């Protein structure tokens, strides 16, 4: 592989006929990659819109609590090819409301939280449906996490 005028030239053996020179069109590949990324982003945004239209009971309850407490947030927000339930941008805090099926995927959720924290710098607060619906201290937990994330 040789570099010449910012283009990469690959030299590959050709079957029974010696050598050939093949130029790699990096501009075309970057355009294809960006188109694919745009497709994924549009698909995620459409899916997030559908999730916004029919939230779960716990999500609706937490949404109303956050509105009542005048805490600015985004609901069903796309961050780095992931859809999060609630995002508080001023605190870099992600709030996930987990239903019963999350008991089966706890390891996956922990990996996702670790990725969002280490790579992107977001803090994550996970609440179960029961905590949101039955616990009166949900807002205090969120405010405590906000104070902790701002420190």
Q: How many domains does the chain have?
A: 2
Residues 102, 132 within the same domain:
yes
Q: Count the neighbouring beta carbons within 10 Å of the beta carbon of residue 144.
A: 12
Contact of 75 with 63, CB cutoff 8 Å: yes
CA-to-CA distance for 113 and 82, rounded, in angstroms?
11
Structural domain contains residue 65: yes
Residues 83, 146 within the same domain:
yes
Residues 19, 77 within the same domain:
no
- How far CA 123 is from CA of 64, 94, 138, in Å, comes to 22, 6, 17
- How far CA 148 is from CA of 22, 59, 103, 114, 128, in Å, comes to 55, 23, 26, 17, 20
Instruction: Single out the residue of 117, 107, 104, 112 nearest to residue 145, CA to CA.
Output: 117
Structural domain contains residue 77: yes
Residues 63, 41 within the same domain:
no
Structural domain contains residue 133: yes
Residues 145, 80 within the same domain:
yes
For residue 123, the domain's CATH number is: 3.40.960.10
Residues 96, 139 within the same domain:
yes
Q: Mind listing the pLDDT tens digit for each residue in 2-56?
A: 444 444 444 455 555 554 544 455 555 565 567 778 888 888 899 899 989 999 9
Task: Tell me the three state secondary structure of residue 132.
Answer: helix
Structural domain contains residue 36: yes
Q: Is the pLDDT of residue 148 over 70?
A: yes
Which residues are within 8 A (CB) of 150 and not within 5 positions of it... i.e. 6 or more apart?
Answer: 91
Structural domain contains residue 50: no
pTM of the model: 0.71
Residues 67, 117 within the same domain:
yes
Task: Residue 39: give the domain boundaries.
Answer: 2-45
Structural domain contains residue 134: yes
Structural domain contains residue 109: yes
Which pLDDT score is estimated for 98? 86
Q: Mind listing the pLDDT tens digit for each residue in 62-117?
A: 999 999 998 899 999 998 888 899 999 989 999 999 887 666 677 888 888 888 88
Q: Mind listing the pLDDT tens digit for each residue in 106-145?
A: 788 888 888 888 788 888 898 988 999 998 899 999 999 8
Structural domain contains residue 31: yes
CA-to-CA distance for 21 and 34, rounded, in angstroms?
27
């Amino acid at each position: 592989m040789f570099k010449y005028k910012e283009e990469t030239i690959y030299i590959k053996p050709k079957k029974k006929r010696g050598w050939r020179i093949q130029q790699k069109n990096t501009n075309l590949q970057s355009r294809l990659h960006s188109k694919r990324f745009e497709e994924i982003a549009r698909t995620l945004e459409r899916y997030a819109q559908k999730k916004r239209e029919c939230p779960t009971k716990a999500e609706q309850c937490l949404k109303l609590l956050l509105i009542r407490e005048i805490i600015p947030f985004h609901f069903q927000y796309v961050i780095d090819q992931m859809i999060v339930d609630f995002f508080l941008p001023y605190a870099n805090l992600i709030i996930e409301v987990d239903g019963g099926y999350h008991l089966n995927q706890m390891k996956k959720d922990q990996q996702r939280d670790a990725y969002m924290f280490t790579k992107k710098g977001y803090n994550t607060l996970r609440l179960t449906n029961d905590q949101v619906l039955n616990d009166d201290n949900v807002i205090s937990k969120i405010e405590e996490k906000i104070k902790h994330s701002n420190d």
